Amino acid sequence: MTEAYVKSELHKGIASVEFFHPQSNSLPAKILQELAAAIKHAGEDPDAAVIILRSAGEKAFCAGASFDELAAITNEKEGLAFFSGFANVINAMRTCPKFIIGRIHGKCVGGGVGLASAVDYAIATEAAEVKLSELAIGIGPFVVGPAVERKIGTAAFAALAIDASGWRNAEWGKRKGLFAEVYENAGDMDEAIHRLAHHLSHSSPQAMAEVKKILWQGTEDWDTLLMERAKISGRLVLSEFTRNAIAK
């Protein structure tokens, strides 16, 4: 596979949204835009009861922001436009009336940790190490921060944000609440995902929607908050420090 894509499938009430990018499933603006649209569409589809978010391949789940596009940003307007893509995806996941199960098969970096945090139920393998690398390149996990902090708490989020070069393993993620379940291999993970998705596909859509509303209480201001955070990232990405870090 060499061409990036986002594709959706629907089978027996289970919608699957899959993304791919040849650079370790990184996230350029086009993929972010298509992801947000695919999640919104699945959320509005009356034939879909539950959604699985997954990425292709067997290595990284998601390497976060595309460094090529970060390097191409030349002003704050472009910076805001790029980082607002992450805000739009997280808000699409937040407001989607259906549960989103995350299939986390490998490493998550930066925005990838944000995706894993914004799903409603993450099932992972032992290969799913996590790292918030933004501070190391002079930015900071501003847009994904609220989603990560909501899922794992302020102390654990601070540890990830400050130790920007350190990996945390999947068991750490499970202890902190990022992952609901962790399996030794992809086969066992997929079996668990299928079992849960099948069960939810036969559950009450109205009840699940109401439970999701409760789980996301207190995030009603995120349409504004995440865009404000995107502005911060969009400004900092223009700094000399960040330019040099990306170039390296």
55-98 pLDDT tens trace: 999 999 999 999 999 999 999 999 999 999 999 999 999 999 99
Angle 210-108-187 from CA coordinates, rounded to 5°: 80
Residue 126 burial by Cβ neighbours in a 10 Å radius (0-12, 13-18, 19+): middle
Q: What is the pTM of this model?
A: 0.96
Segments forming the whole domain that contains residue 68: 5-186
- H-helix or E-strand containing 17? strand 14-20
| Number of folded domains that form the chain | 1
Residue 161 has a pLDDT of: 98
What letter would DSSP give residue 140? -
- CA dist., res. 38 & res. 18, Å (int): 9
Question: Residue 43: inside a domain, yes or no?
Answer: yes
Tokens read off for 244: 């040099």
Q: How many CA atoms lie within 13 A of 75 on its CB side?
A: 1
Question: Residue 141: inside a domain, yes or no?
Answer: yes
Residue 1 has a pLDDT of: 67
Question: Residue 73: inside a domain, yes or no?
Answer: yes
Question: Residue 205: inside a domain, yes or no?
Answer: no
Question: Residue 237: inside a domain, yes or no?
Answer: no
Residue 214 has a pLDDT of: 98
- CA dist., res. 47 & res. 49, Å (int): 6
* Closest of 128, 145, 142, 53 to residue 92, by C-alpha: 53
3 state DSSP class of 20 = strand
Question: Residue 240: inside a domain, yes or no?
Answer: no
Question: Residue 59: inside a domain, yes or no?
Answer: yes
Q: Tell me, what CATH number does 83's domain have? A: 3.90.226.10
What parts of the chain have a pLDDT lower than 70?
A: 1
- CA dist., res. 242 & res. 76, Å (int): 14
Residue 189 burial by Cβ neighbours in a 10 Å radius (0-12, 13-18, 19+): buried
Q: Which amino acid is at 41?
A: H
What letter would DSSP give residue 172? H
Question: Residue 16: inside a domain, yes or no?
Answer: yes
